[in-house]
């Protein structure tokens, strides 16, 4: 059989796409991903049903969740997933916005490539446009402080706007909970606010309805009290957190104990019991009436704790122990020997309650908790999961508003305003980069256009009307009022968004466009399988 001589230095079956073809393919895929999530944008956005290999179903319109669960294969598609993840991690909201802008930047770049404009020129134009957009964004942004609860509540409601989690009344209730939670865990350092969202625990249980969701000024632990004889409720709790096992340590090495008489066995067991009793005595002496243990609690120790009227919970997660410490003011003791009264935390009430058929321990009404719990309820598992995603978006939005201290009007108004200012700026830039700056402005306008489409409005008429409003003196806040299907003043309607969400969405989108446009060669070394090669040889 005569062999084929190839000038290609790649293994057989490897694929290579060169130059413009590679760029066109990447652009098409990037834009296709944007088209998938585009229909979920805004309060009137539609949902996606995602079914995994195992048959698990997720119904959501959260951009990051959709892209993560979609299991994309192509490398460019994976880059688009990356920006959604970054957006989600950094600000917790605006994932769909960043992907839609990135997709449209790529599409517009494709049109410029067809006009024989070099990718480097396009990238330079995009970078100039991004710098200008960020600068203008700072000017458009308005200041907000933690005392301005109404504005923060509005921002939380807009973040949840696209999630189908019930009526406006329920959204308002959850927005209120979110604002209180963020304010409770925020810290002021050097005149700036810092919010660690890990300190807001989200505990969920299907059952009840969304309106039953509430803020617990303390921590909810998904565990039960270890012994039936223990009190199920303790008021004015003194809480000990122990990072050690209330068990007699067994030796790691193989040890033999020779017992020759029944009395010796009895003495041995009695000594073990005595050791456990002493452990409980130490807890009692410190003045604790509630104990959370990160490891196990021996049956005998449980008995003595119950006798002493101490409520105990075992195998509590490390993260929950840390949250309990922040909420109650307790110090986590790594051994019982150094447990003293000053290590104890306080809570007004610790109680085991049955929720949805399962026991949970509530540590409530702590004095000034630096960690709180949002206890989520909802009719079914799917509803609870979507409410959780909505709460995470809202938490991210409110936290990033406080950290930056600025917000902008929503409904696509800020994108239209930036596009207008970029078109004026493009003239100053001149040269071929001017076309890239204008393409950037067009990509920003894809947000209000998509909002209008998703609300069943005419996208072109809406865009023309918005441009006309923004060209007037005080038209800066005009955006797409999806509720009433017209163009309105977004600030008056209370549709507000964090400045940080827009800032991050624009920078993530440009980053992705830059990455994709620099690629002019795709070498895929996925060689054909052995079986295929064998069958080819047989042919």
Q: What is the pLDDT of residue 390?
A: 86
Q: What is the pLDDT of residue 530?
A: 44
- The CATH number of whichever domain residue 25 belongs to comes to 1.10.560.10
Q: What is the pLDDT of residue 3?
A: 46
Please state, in angstroms and rounded to a whole number, the distance separating the CA atoms of residues 519 and 500: 29
pLDDT in tens, 83-142: 888 888 877 777 888 999 999 999 999 999 889 899 899 999 999 999 999 999 999 888
What residue ranges of the chain have pLDDT lower than 70? 1-13, 162-164, 166, 250-255, 526-539
Query: How many angstroms separate the first and last alpha carbons of the chain?
Result: 11
Q: 187 in a domain, yes or no?
A: no
Q: How many CB atoms lie within 10 A of CB 283?
A: 25
**Secondary structure tally for the chain: helices H, strands E:** 18, 21
Q: 317, 341, 368: which is the final residue of a domain?
A: 368
Q: What is the pLDDT of residue 536?
A: 46
> Is residue 198 flagged as an active site residue?
no
Strand order across the beta sheet in which 200-206 lies: 200-206, 372-378, 214-216
- Looking at the structure, tell me whether residues 330 and 421 fall in a common domain: no
Q: 64 in a domain, yes or no?
A: yes
Q: What is the pLDDT of residue 529?
A: 46
- Looking at the structure, tell me whether residues 358 and 419 fall in a common domain: no
> Is residue 373 flagged as an active site residue?
no
Q: 199 in a domain, yes or no?
A: no
Please state, in angstroms and rounded to a whole number, the distance separating the CA atoms of residues 281 and 197: 38
Q: Are strands 290-293 and 233-242 parallel, antiparallel or unpaired?
A: parallel
Q: What is the pLDDT of residue 162?
A: 62
- Looking at the structure, tell me whether residues 429 and 347 fall in a common domain: no
Q: 488 in a domain, yes or no?
A: yes
**Count of domains in the chain?**
2
Q: 348, 368, 388: which is the final residue of a domain?
A: 368
> Is residue 39 flagged as an active site residue?
no
Q: What is the pLDDT of residue 251?
A: 53
Q: What is the pLDDT of residue 531?
A: 44
Token duo for residue 84? 């959604």
Q: 459 in a domain, yes or no?
A: yes
- Looking at the structure, tell me whether residues 362 and 461 fall in a common domain: no
pLDDT in tens, 472-501: 878 888 999 888 888 888 888 888 888 988
- Looking at the structure, tell me whether residues 361 and 419 fall in a common domain: no
Note the pTM of the prediction, 2 decimals: 0.77
Q: What is the pLDDT of residue 435?
A: 93
Q: How many CB atoms lie within 10 A of CB 96?
A: 28
- The CATH number of whichever domain residue 358 belongs to comes to 3.50.7.10
Q: 291 in a domain, yes or no?
A: yes
- Looking at the structure, tell me whether residues 288 and 422 fall in a common domain: no
pLDDT in tens, 502-526: 999 999 899 988 988 887 777 777 6
> Is residue 62 flagged as an active site residue?
yes
- Looking at the structure, tell me whether residues 356 and 478 fall in a common domain: no
- Looking at the structure, tell me whether residues 362 and 416 fall in a common domain: no
Of 468, 466, 472, 474, the closest CA to residue 411 belongs to 466
Mention every residue, 6+ apart, whose C-beta is less than 8 A from residue 342.
331
- Looking at the structure, tell me whether residues 356 and 414 fall in a common domain: no
Residue located via tokens 């986590």: 332
Q: What is the pLDDT of residue 72?
A: 80
- Looking at the structure, tell me whether residues 353 and 434 fall in a common domain: no
Q: What is the pLDDT of residue 526?
A: 62
How many percent of the chain have pLDDT more than 70? 93
One of 60, 96, 449, 512 is an active-site residue; which one? Answer: 96
One of 40, 60, 62, 320 is an active-site residue; which one? Answer: 62
Q: 257 in a domain, yes or no?
A: yes
- Looking at the structure, tell me whether residues 296 and 416 fall in a common domain: no
Q: 381 in a domain, yes or no?
A: no
- Looking at the structure, tell me whether residues 360 and 236 fall in a common domain: yes
Q: 368, 394, 418: which is the final residue of a domain?
A: 368
Mention every residue, 6+ apart, whose C-beta is less than 8 A from residue 241.
292, 294, 321, 324, 325, 328, 330, 331, 332, 333, 345
290: containing domain = 219-368
């Amino acid at each position: 059989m005569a062999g084929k001589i190839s000038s290609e230095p790649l293994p057989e079956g490897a694929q290579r796409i060169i130059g413009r073809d590679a760029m066109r393919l990447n652009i098409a895929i990037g834009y296709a991903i944007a088209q998938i999530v585009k229909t979920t944008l805004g309060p009137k956005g539609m949902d996606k049903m995602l079914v995994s290999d195992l048959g698990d179903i997720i119904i959501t319109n959260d951009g990051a969740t959709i892209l993560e669960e979609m299991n994309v294969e192509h490398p460019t598609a994976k880059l688009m997933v990356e920006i959604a993840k970054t957006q989600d991690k950094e600000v917790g909201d605006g994932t769909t916005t960043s992907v839609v802008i990135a997709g449209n930047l790529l599409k517009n770049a494709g049109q410029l490539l067809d006009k024989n404009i070099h990718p480097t020129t396009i990238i330079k134009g995009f970078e100039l446009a991004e710098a200008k957009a960020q600068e203008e964004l700072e000017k458009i942004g308005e200041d907000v402080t933690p005392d301005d609860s109404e504005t923060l509540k509005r921002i939380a409601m807009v973040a949840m706007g696209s999630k189908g989690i019930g009526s406006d009344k329920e959204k308002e209730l959850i927005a209120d909970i979110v604002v209180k939670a963020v304010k409770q865990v925020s810290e002021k350092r050097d005149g700036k606010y810092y919010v660690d969202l890990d300190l807001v625990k989200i505990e969920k249980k299907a059952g009840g309805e969304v309106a039953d969701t509430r803020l617990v000024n303390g921590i909810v632990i998904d565990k039960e009290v270890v012994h039936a004889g223990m009190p199920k409720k303790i008021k004015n709790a003194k809480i000990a957190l122990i990072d050690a096992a209330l068990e007699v340590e067994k030796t790691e090495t193989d040890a033999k104990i020779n017992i020759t008489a029944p009395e010796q066995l009895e003495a041995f067991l009695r000594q073990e019991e005595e050791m456990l009793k002493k452990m409980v005595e130490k807890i009692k002496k410190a003045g604790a009436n509630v104990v959370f243990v990160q490891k196990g609690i021996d049956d005998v120790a449980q008995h003595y704790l119950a006798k002493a009227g101490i409520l105990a919970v075992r195998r509590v997660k490390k993260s929950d122990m840390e949250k309990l410490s922040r909420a109650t003011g307790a110090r986590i003791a790594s051994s019982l020997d150094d447990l003293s009264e000053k290590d104890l935390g306080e809570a007004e009430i610790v109680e085991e309650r049955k929720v949805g058929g399962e026991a949970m321990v509530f540590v409530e009404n702590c004095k000034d908790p630096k960690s709180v719990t949002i206890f989520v309820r909802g009719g079914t598992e799917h509803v609870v999961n979507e409410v959780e995603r909505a709460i995470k978006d809202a938490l991210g939005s409110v936290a990033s508003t406080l950290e930056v201290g600025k917000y902008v009007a929503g409904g696509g108004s800020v994108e239209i305003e930036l596009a207008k200012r970029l078109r004026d700026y493009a003239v100053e830039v001149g040269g071929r980069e001017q076309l890239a700056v204008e393409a950037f402005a067009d990509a920003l306008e894809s947000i209000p256009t998509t909002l209008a489409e998703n609300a069943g409005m005419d996208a072109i008429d809406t865009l023309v009307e918005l441009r006309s409003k923004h060209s007037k003196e005080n038209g800066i806040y005009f955006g797409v009022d999806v509720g009433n299907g017209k163009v309105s003043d977004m600030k008056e309607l209370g549709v507000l968004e964090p400045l940080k969400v827009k800032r991050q969405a624009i920078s993530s989108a440009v980053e992705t466009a830059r990455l994709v446009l620099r690629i002019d060669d795709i070498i895929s070394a996925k060689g054909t399988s052995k079986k295929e090669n064998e069958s080819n040889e047989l042919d």
